[in-house]
Amino acid sequence: MGSSQSLRVPTGKGPFNVGCTDVMADHTRQGSFFRLYYPCEAYEPSTQPSWIPRCYYSIPVGWNAPFRAVEKYPLIIFSHGLGAFRTLYSSICLEMASQGFVVAAVEHRDESAACTYFFKPRVEQLSEDTQSDLEEVWLPIRKLNASEEEFSLRNEQLSQRVEECGRVLDVLADINSGTPIKNALLDNLALSVLKGCIDLQRVAVMGHSFGGSTSILAAAKDKRFRCAVALDSWMFPLAEDIYSKDLSPVFCINSEKFQTQDSIAKMKRLQSTNNDLKIITILGSVHQSHTDFTLLTGDLLSKLFETRGAIDPLKALEITNKAAMAFLQRHLDLQKDFDQWNALVEGHDEDVVPVPEL
């Protein structure tokens, strides 16, 4: 397996330092749980958090670093894939934050996350300390029963995921307006510092796999999301009525190995009624090329679990980020230089092609 020095999430390439914190607004299962990445002031490297909380690998961001509260930032709500979690896409999220976005990576409570948690009151009150009076309740991924019809389950989960993305946007809108928000995770960033610094007129939704279909449906159901970036979207959970809905602009960035002809046909069907829907494929990429796994698994594990394709994993992520930023500039009316990567959005690059003809 590759050396530990080579297994790392790279620093952001943008002009901003990046901080992050975890937010659990309402400690119950019905509350919002997300990791927030944001432009920050300088921080000490010793404050870098572990990749998986309570586990290993650090990521190059400042944990609870001082927020850079000098301008308004566009917002991205990020939705993870089936069996994933809020920290699995830190390489994409921190890059976006380094380029001037606030990014909220949702951890879904629809039982599609690998494992997540919330709090419930202890049976016996231990002290006057409110944190001590709560105990963690872990929610593992739900396995499909043999008697279950998969589409019904996944479509139901999809609806909940879209609601959760909207709820996170509600929380951030409250924070932006100065409404006090209690974070059940104590000693994290004081959220009041974000007041007036989130540009709620420039909000996008982004996601991978199941999160890709989540972002597509969110772009149809919640018009606060001005556009969506769907990374290797799992099209299966989307119901037939998606094709008759009015979609905000959508950008499908696919890997070469994951998508089937049926999935591509569904994307092209959406495109036929939506001129602002773009579809590209990154040559040599695999489904995990959009995740941190592509960077944090050595040669042996990458072969066993196909976390890397023929393309260099850093290059694949760079293409994803640049293409996404060019699309976001176009549809969020950003005053940036991301339009230098417009060719990627059209599928014009040696490592990128437009959607293939069927």
Residue environment code for 91-116, b if the CB has 16+ CB neighbours within 10 A, otherwise e: bbbbbbbbbbbbbbbbbbbbebbeeb
Nearest-angstrom CA–CA distance, 7 and 12: 16
Nearest-angstrom CA–CA distance, 136 and 157: 23
Written as six digits, the tokens of 76 are 């991205």
Nearest-angstrom CA–CA distance, 190 and 63: 12
Q: What share of the chain is helix, strand, coil (3-state, %, to 5)?
A: 30, 25, 45
SS3 assignment, position 181? coil
Amino acid (1-letter code) at residue 16 = F
Which of 232, 290, 292, 302 is catalytic? The answer is: 232
Taking CA 205 as the corner, what is the angle to CA 115 and CA 336, rounded to the nearest 5 degrees? 130
Instruction: Please say whether the dihedral angle defined by the alpha carbons of residues 124, 128, 130 and 136, taken in this order, is positive or negative.
Output: negative
In sequence order, what are the beta bridge partners of 229? 206, 251
What 8-state DSSP symbol labels residue 29? Answer: T
Query: Is 209 among the catalytic positions?
Result: yes
SS3 assignment, position 321? helix
Three-class HEC string of 67-95: ECCCCCEEEEEEECCCCCCCCCCHHHHHH
Query: Is 232 among the catalytic positions?
Result: yes
CA 299 from centre of chain: 26
Which of 91, 209, 215, 285 is catalytic? The answer is: 209
Closest CA to 60 of 104, 23, 95, 9: 9
Which of 27, 80, 287, 290 is catalytic? The answer is: 287
Nearest-angstrom CA–CA distance, 139 and 280: 35
Q: What is the set of active-site residues?
A: 209, 232, 287
